[in-house]
Amino acid sequence: MAVEFDDEAAQHTTALGPLVGLTREDIFGAVAVLLRETASDPQRLMRHGQEMGSDMIKIMTGQSELAPNPKDKRFMDPAWRYNPFMRAGMQYYLAVQKGMSSWLEDLELDELEKDRARFISNIIIDGLAPTNTLMGNPTAQKRLIDSGGLSLIKGLKNAYTDITENKGMVSQVDKRPFKLGENVATSKGSVVLRTEMMELVHYAPTTDEVYEIPQLTIPPQINKMYINDLSPEKSVVKYQLDNGIQTFVISWRNPSKEQGVWDMADYVASCREAMEAVSAITGSKKVNVSAGCSGGQTAAMLASKMASDKDDLLGALTLMVCVLHPKQNDIEAGSLISKNGLELARQRAAKKGVIKGDDLARGFAWLRPNDLIWNYVINNYLLGDDPPAFDVLFWNADATNLSASLMGDFLTIFETLAFTKKGEVEMVDHKIDLSKVKSDLFILGGVTDHITPWKATYRSTQLFGSKDVTYVLSHSGHMQAILNPPGNPKARYYLNKGKKLPETADEWQAGAEEVAGSWWPYWMEWVQKRSGEKKDAPKEVGNSDYKALDPAPGLYVVEKV
């Protein structure tokens, strides 16, 4: 079970995207469309009711051949095949699922409305699965008998703890084993710059020589920066240090209600301030930048602003699992996003000042309930097991607030497709134009990424004015695409070694080759080639102007709001 949860954690971690614009009105609107269409044609409803009734009769007489998808983990227990009562219960559920799917396909809706109806109905049907209850879950029933009732007592205790300590949300992780600076975020270094908005962490070199051009990582504004340094085995920070890269990471402060006015311009200005500090500390006239997810959108805005200002401090740019050219059908929940919903989301956020991190996590979880809710209901409550102690999940649960102003800017970028326009959208005191950005570019996508789908990340290759663009596709999901170090026997990635990247992801895929192993060594070689000459490693972090303050990972990662 723990291995399955580890995989789910990697695939379904919280991330900022257009999802933050979802409102209850959009969801209720989708339900209203379903009800309207149901009432519009009683004969159609009767026809589908008769088909479902036929399935029910076959189930009652033992003649039904309905069977779950072999990959559906909910029905793996042998009891679903060999116990006639359990098999019948499963088939009733599958009949409802089949009937709903058939009915939706028959509705006279446009494609967007049909997608909305399908998405909402799947959430409802997932909640009706018999496996979500003790009476309908043979594995939980066996555990109850084998444990002499202790599993039920433990499950009730877990549920009570979630009600009283986790705001009623089922826990996805056992946080107890993890201590920042002890077994998580253990790379040595110090904060060398602290402002109201961010800390800049300078990590101590681990090699005798370092490359002269340093690298600054811009993390997402949701969750904490230590995703880059989870454990020594999967630390991007440690890997960079061990390969001679002078490594700096921004740590964003968790904004309070009063700081809800922080917008994209403020975050870009902080990134620029961090780059100046990195340059001053290392003596380099260039600073390479790496960023992921919403941090990648921030880095792209920074690059556009610097190009507009004719500021040449930016060196090579790495963007990981980041979408700059979104389309409504990229993600499953995209069909629910409406212009009215986005405006309502803005208004509510402005009134509150910030969107609470746990509210974002809760909303995100209910958009993928099988993976992020019912899995844990079964594990924690029905089986009476503790949630998994997994570092990625620990980090994922350590969510931060999102300032209302920044959320509004992210939604504007989504609505206007700002990064795809050349000088048409004004933001951060300039007209956004990525075609003016000439930096060498490395872009990463993940094959099974549901949050920033890889074909959406590929569109970024066509937006920049860079002559040197590399695209790599990791055979993993969202965070696991990044946290994919050497040594994983299952790791592989894809490259298209053509002289020029094709215009579309499908064309790129047609010419791509599979490469065994982690993409990290390939990326590191790419970075090193763009990091100048080697020199003696500094004996201390910071310098006389940027003195070492608190040890890494700093104070902002432990600050509570």
Question: What is the distance between the alpha carbons of residues 294 and 301, in angstroms, rounded to a whole number?
Answer: 11
pLDDT in tens, 342-369: 777 777 777 888 888 777 777 777 767 7
Radius of gyration of the chain (CA): 25
Distances (CA, A) of 191 to 6, 146, 556: 31, 52, 10
Phi, psi of 443 (to 5 degrees): -120, 135
Residue 542 included in any domain: no
Q: Which two tokens stand for residue 459?
A: 């569109």
Q: What is the pTM of this model?
A: 0.88
Residue 412 included in any domain: yes
Active site residues: 293
Check whether 78 has a pLDDT greater than 90.
yes
Question: What is the distance between the alpha carbons of residues 68 and 94, in angstroms, rounded to a whole number?
Answer: 7
Question: What is the distance between the alpha carbons of residues 84 and 226, in angstroms, rounded to a whole number?
Answer: 50
- Mean pLDDT on 384-389: 91
Residue 541 included in any domain: no
pLDDT at position 360, please? 76
The model's confidence at residue 145, banded by pLDDT at 50, 70 and 90, is very high
pLDDT in tens, 473-483: 998 887 888 88
Q: Which of 342, 305, 315 is nearest to 326 (CA)?
A: 342
CA angle 272, 312, 452 (to 5 degrees): 60
Check whether 207 has a pLDDT greater than 50.
yes
Higher pLDDT, 34 or 501: 501
- Mean pLDDT on 52-81: 89
- Mean pLDDT on 275-280: 98
CB count in 10 Å sphere of residue 123: 17
Residue 481 included in any domain: yes
Question: What is the distance between the alpha carbons of residues 486 and 265, in angstroms, rounded to a whole number?
Answer: 37
pLDDT at position 167, please? 82
Alpha helices in 368-477 (DSSP H): 369, 375-376, 391-397, 404-416, 454-458
Q: Are 33 and 113 in contact (CB under 8 A)?
A: yes
Question: What is the distance between the alpha carbons of residues 318 and 442, in angstroms, rounded to a whole number?
Answer: 5
Question: What is the distance between the alpha carbons of residues 446 and 494, in angstroms, rounded to a whole number?
Answer: 10
Question: What is the distance between the alpha carbons of residues 458 and 508, in angstroms, rounded to a whole number?
Answer: 9
Question: What is the distance between the alpha carbons of residues 37 and 50, in angstroms, rounded to a whole number?
Answer: 18
Question: What is the distance between the alpha carbons of residues 557 and 400, in angstroms, rounded to a whole number?
Answer: 9
The model's confidence at residue 26, banded by pLDDT at 50, 70 and 90, is low
In which element (H, E) is residue 318 found? strand 314-320
- Mean pLDDT on 454-476: 94
Residue 422 included in any domain: yes
Between 175-189, 261-275, 428-442, 475-489, the lowest mean confidence (pLDDT) is in: 475-489
The model's confidence at residue 51, banded by pLDDT at 50, 70 and 90, is confident
Helix, strand, or coil (residue 70): coil
State the pairing for strand pair 534-536/209-211. antiparallel
- Number of structural domains, the chain? 1
pLDDT at position 38, please? 65
Residue 423 CA to chain centroid, in angstroms?
29
DSSP class of 55: H
Strand partners, 249: 201, 217
pLDDT in tens, 183-204: 999 999 999 999 999 999 999 9
* Residue 256 belongs to domain with CATH number: 3.40.50.1820
Question: What is the distance between the alpha carbons of residues 269 and 406, in angstroms, rounded to a whole number?
Answer: 13
DSSP class of 170: P
Check whether 19 has a pLDDT greater than 50.
no
Query: Rounded mean pLDDT of the chain?
Result: 87
pLDDT at position 511, please? 92
pLDDT at position 9, please? 47
Residue 215 included in any domain: yes
% of the chain residues with pLDDT over 70? 89
Domain hosting 276: range is 189-536
The model's confidence at residue 314, banded by pLDDT at 50, 70 and 90, is very high
Residue 334 included in any domain: yes
Q: Which of 360, 177, 166, 173 is nearest to 254 (CA)?
A: 360
In which element (H, E) is residue 506 found? helix 505-510
Distances (CA, A) of 436 to 3, 112, 411, 508, 512: 45, 35, 23, 24, 28
Residue 281 included in any domain: yes
pLDDT at position 337, please? 66
Helix, strand, or coil (residue 545): coil
Place of tokens 């020594």: 232
